[in-house]
Amino acid sequence: MKRHYFWMIIGCVVPLLLIFLAPSFGLESPITFFLFILIMFGAHLMMFRSNDGHNHEDTN
C-alpha cells in the first residue's frame, strides 16, 4: 500500500508543481499550458488503465 501512495504523489503532486513552476522556465504561452494539461490528462488515463482491479497490497 505504501508504494501506491508514492505513485499517487508522483502522478498528482509533481505535475501540479510543474504547472505552477512552468512560467519560471519560460513556458508562458497559453498553447504550451493547454498542451501540458492534455499530457497530464493522458498520463492520468494511463494510470487508471494500469490500475484495473489489481490488489494493492505491497509484497515487499
List the domain boundaries for the chain. 2-50
Residue 36 · residue 22 · CB < 8 Å = yes
pLDDT at position 57? 56
pTM: 0.53
Residue 32 · residue 22 · CB < 8 Å = yes
CA–CA separation, 41 and 52 (whole Å):
17
Burial 20-53 (b: 16+ CB within 10 A, else e): eeeeeeeeeeeeeeeeeeeebeeeeeeeeeeeee
pLDDT, tens digit, 9 for 90 and up, residues 11-34: 778 778 888 888 888 888 888 888
CA–CA separation, 3 and 57 (whole Å):
9
